[in-house]
Every structure is written in structure tokens, then in C-alpha cells.
Amino acid sequence: MAEEVNKKDIDTKAEVKPDLDDLSNQTVQFRIICGSYEHNIMCISLLLRKNVPLFQPIFHLEAHSLSIKALDAAKRYLVSGGNDEHIKIYDLQKRKDLGTLLSHQGSVTCLKFFSKQGKWLLSGSEDSKIIIWRTRDWESFGVLKGHTARINDLAVHPSGKIAISCADDKTIKLWNLMTVKKAANLKLKYFLQNGQFVRWSLNGNHFIVSLLDTVLIYDTNAAKIINQLKFKRITIMRIENYEIDTIEYLVIGLSNGEIQFYKLSDLVKKQKIENNEDENENNREDENESDEYDTKSKRNAQKDEIISMIPLDLEPSYKFIGHTIRIKDLKFYQDFLTKRKFLVSISSDGKIVVWDLSIKEEIAVYKTDERLNCLTVIPETIEKIDTMKKRKLSISQEDLYNYKTDNETDGEEIRNILLNNNENKKNDKRNKKPKYKKHKKIIALVKIIIILK
């Protein structure tokens, strides 16, 4: 019996608190890349040594002629899209501009690499088109057509075979990336808002659609809404999902500057919806009714089910408060060596805030003078000095090797220079003497000729 009691007392799901001393002794370094309304891309390196942050600017360039709307990175490549309808490509290893993609005829709103090696890129635009790019040669592989308005967001299934998109046409579409065709079409006609953001759960069994003030949880197999999470007087600015301490969270950035964390397991619990007896009786009428009436009854039943669904009354597991106004973007990063997990958030207040998810605290803040709009996070080791583009010099390598500044000269070099100058003067005098003798001979000959005449 004693052994049974001891087993009960042990909580296998209890969170193990990290050792703060170990964390303080660890060194972590990664890079944060942001795009702004001022057309600029800035890259900042963050070094955390003994929990003391040190920011180092890497580069800052005007990448677009209008504001930047989307950023993404995979392996060595960085892509950016803006209101100028251009997609810029950069090689981060060589720190080189590779060119521009010009197939869209509207502002580029979202960019998403997929596959493990980042072999493919999805881009969405205001022209209602989604283009699949092959990163090997940056050629257009296919175009996903079906939306009739601005593309707001994209997400790729963990398998890499299915994508989901939301647009301003009040539809959610699923795409088969293997055949480059539409797989399903879901309408938001019972809601007065368009889908703003979409994300897949980590196992792919559910997908999340965010409206302006409501989060909809869908079951992937049934393609139906199973839950709603509604916010009052607050606008949803960004959503992400991530696993923290073996628990998957839905992370929501809000217009008041808060970042809230909700357990996804609480959001995917199906509600038991009780229909009225009259509605049940109407749905169980004669089986010999026409097909049109059957389809109408199914639509009415679906509408009643959505309307009667009570939004979840959930409090966030915890929340971060580090910004004063709306959150613009969120990105997670895990260090390869230490396995520490971080959250990086940006806001319209121009601040970059870094959070340590192991202690759930703010650890670094970097203030900029720009209105930040999007971000991505990359490892510090992505850039290699050996592969960077070498600059052309006007002088040869030998001259560069032998060249020294004024501060590098010493007394021996000065003495040699003076000795060389003295020798040159002596040589000049010796060379002049023969010329003087020649002149004397010429004058003597002239005198003799005059006397003889």
C-alpha cells in the first residue's frame, strides 16, 4: 500500500522548474530581422551572456520603395514582400541581393517557406493569387487560383502537402500542394468578418482561423467549427502556436499590447449543443422530401449549430505585457545548443522585446526609431565569412601586402630613404660633369674656327 500511495503522490505531468544558475551561465546568440513601414530591413544580433543582453546591428538597408508587409527565412535565404508588389531575395551567407520576383500585381501580404530544406515558397498578394516558387531557380511552379479578394494569410500543414489560406472574400480554402489544385472551400457567411490569420496545430488534426475579434477552432477531418474564443473590445493582431514544456499553446497578440497564451487542449474540446425539440422534429420529417429541401435543412441545421455555439469563457494560462500598443508580429526561436526557447515580439511602438520561455520573463528590449511591421528570427551561424562576397580592390594583392600606413614606418625605413636620396644626388652630379666638359670642348672649337678665318 505504501508503494501505491507514493506512486499517486508523484505527478508525472508536473513542470520541472529550470535551474536559474545554469541559465545564467549559458551563452546564446541569434539574429532578429525586422521590416518596417519606412521601407527598411534591419538585422540585429542578440548575444545573451550570463543573462546580460548585448545588441549589435548587422545591416540596415532600404529594400523596397514602399512599406514592407512580410518576411520569411529558410536556410540561407531571406525573402521580403511589400506594398511595391515586389518580392526581394537575399543570400544571408554571402550578404548579397539575388534579385526580385515580379509576378504579383498587388501588394505582397504573406510569404511562407515550406519543406524541410526550404525548397518551396508560397506568396500571397492583393491580386487574390497564391504563387508557388521553386527556390532552386526561383521559377514559378504554379498558381493557386480561387480567391476573389486580398489574401490575408497562409499556412502549410506539418506534412507539407496541404496549405490553407484566408482572404477578404469570407472564405477559407484548402489547397493540395502535390497537384496544385483546390481541395476544399469553407465559407464564413455566418460571420460579419473576414479571416485574418490561419495556423495548423502541430499534429495537423486542427486548424485555427482568426477573425478580428474571434478565434475559430476547426476539426481537420470534419472541416467544421468545434469551438469559438471571442474577445471584447480588443482586436486580434497576430496568432501563433508553439510547444512549451510539452504543452501546445495558442499565442495571441492583441491591440492593447498584451500577448496571451491558451492551452490548445482546452480549445479543441467539443461542445455539446442542444437543439430545440421543434428543430429536431422538423429535421426528422418525411424521408420522401425533395433533395432541395434536404440541402436547405442541412444548411439551416449548420447555421443553427454555429449560432447556438457558445464562445468559450477561458482565461489565458499566462500573458506577457511588454508593449504599450498593438502587437505587429510574433516569432519563436529555439537555440540549437542550449535548447532554450525564446519569443520575440515587435510592436508599433518601435520596440523589439525578447522573452525567455523557460522563466516566462522579459530579458531584452531594443528600441528603434521605426514603425516595425514584420519579423523573422535566424541563427547566428547562418552567415559565413568565407562565403561572403569579396570586394574588388584597385591595387594588387602584392601591393596591398607591402603597403603600410604612416604609423607603421620606423627609423630604419627613414634612414634607408635618406641614404637613397643622398646616393641619387651623387649620381646626378656625376652625370652632369660629362655634359659640362662637352660644352667646354664645343666652345674651344668655335674659337679656333674664328681665328682661322
In a shared domain, residues 43 and 123: no
351-367 per-position pLDDT tens digit: 999 999 999 999 999 99
**What band does 320 get if pLDDT is binned at 50, 70 and 90?**
very high
88-135 per-position pLDDT tens digit: 999 998 889 999 999 999 999 999 999 878 899 999 999 999 999 999
What string of DSSP letters covers 294-318? HHHHHHHHHHHHHHHPPPP----SE
Residue 315 lies in a domain: no
In a shared domain, residues 40 and 148: no
How far apart CA 333 and CA 319 sit, in angstroms, is: 18
Q: Residue 281: is its pLDDT beyond 60? A: no
107-116, 240-249, 387-396: which range is least confident on average? 387-396
Burial of residue 248 (CB within 10 Å: 0-12, 13-18, 19+) is middle
pLDDT of residue 286: 46
Q: Residue 298: is its pLDDT beyond 70? A: no
> Total domain count for the chain?
2
Residue 374 lies in a domain: yes
How far apart CA 135 and CA 305 sit, in angstroms, is: 44
CB 352 within 8 A of CB 32: yes
CB 372 within 8 A of CB 346: yes
CA atoms within 13 A on the CB side of 414: 6
What string of DSSP letters covers 189-204? TTSSS---EEEE-TTS
Q: Which cell is 123 given?
A: 506568396
In a shared domain, residues 75 and 134: yes
**What band does 23 get if pLDDT is binned at 50, 70 and 90?**
low
In which domain, by residue range, is 41 found?
26-57+326-386
pLDDT of residue 376: 96
* Mean pLDDT of all residues in 400-428: 50
Q: Of 386, 401, 428, which closes a domain?
A: 386
154-164 per-position pLDDT tens digit: 999 999 999 99
DSSP code, position 66:
S
Q: Of 177, 200, 223, which closes a domain?
A: 200
In a shared domain, residues 90 and 49: no
Burial of residue 176 (CB within 10 Å: 0-12, 13-18, 19+) is middle
**Percent above pLDDT 70 for the chain:** 72
Q: Residue 405: is its pLDDT beyond 60? A: no
* Mean pLDDT of all residues in 7-23: 46
In a shared domain, residues 97 and 39: no
Residues near 381 by beta carbon (within 8 Å), at least 6 away in sequence: none
Burial of residue 286 (CB within 10 Å: 0-12, 13-18, 19+) is exposed
CB 211 within 8 A of CB 236: yes
Q: What is the pTM assigned to this prediction?
A: 0.75
Instruction: For residue 74, list its beta bridge partners.
Output: 77
91-105, 176-190, 229-243, 417-431: which range is least confident on average? 417-431
Residue 287 lies in a domain: no
CB 372 within 8 A of CB 38: no
In a shared domain, residues 89 and 170: yes
pLDDT of residue 192: 87
CB 360 within 8 A of CB 376: no
Q: Of 200, 235, 256, which closes a domain?
A: 200
Q: What is the rounded radius of gyration, in angstroms, for the C-alpha atoms of the chain?
A: 35
Residue 212 lies in a domain: no
In a shared domain, residues 43 and 164: no
In a shared domain, residues 76 and 39: no
Phi and psi at residue 290, in whole multiples of 5°?
Answer: -70, 160
322-344 per-position pLDDT tens digit: 999 999 999 999 998 899 999 99
Distances (CA, A) of 171 to 146, 207, 397: 10, 14, 62
pLDDT of residue 140: 93
Q: Residue 416: is its pLDDT beyond 70? A: no
**What band does 57 get if pLDDT is binned at 50, 70 and 90?**
very high
pLDDT of residue 410: 47
How far apart CA 196 and CA 154 sit, in angstroms, is: 10
In a shared domain, residues 48 and 177: no
pLDDT of residue 94: 87
Buried b (16+ CB within 10 A) or exposed e, 28-53: bbbbbbbbbbbbbbbbbbbebeebee
Residue 416 lies in a domain: no
Q: Which cell is 35 given?
A: 521590416
In a shared domain, residues 134 and 195: yes
pLDDT of residue 18: 54
Closest CA to 371 of 61, 36, 83, 65: 36
167-215 per-position pLDDT tens digit: 999 999 999 999 999 999 999 988 889 999 999 999 999 999 999 999 9
How far apart CA 53 and CA 56 sit, in angstroms, is: 10
Residue 127 lies in a domain: yes
pLDDT of residue 430: 55
Q: Which cell is 435 given?
A: 655634359
In a shared domain, residues 31 and 159: no
How far apart CA 370 and CA 38 sit, in angstroms, is: 7
pLDDT of residue 383: 77
* 153 Cα distance to chain centroid: 14
How far apart CA 195 and CA 167 sit, in angstroms, is: 6
User: What CATH number did the domain enclosing 94 receive?
Assistant: 2.130.10.10
Residue 452 lies in a domain: no
How far apart CA 233 and CA 252 sit, in angstroms, is: 15
pLDDT of residue 449: 72
In a shared domain, residues 52 and 144: no
pLDDT of residue 398: 45
* Mean pLDDT of all residues in 251-271: 92
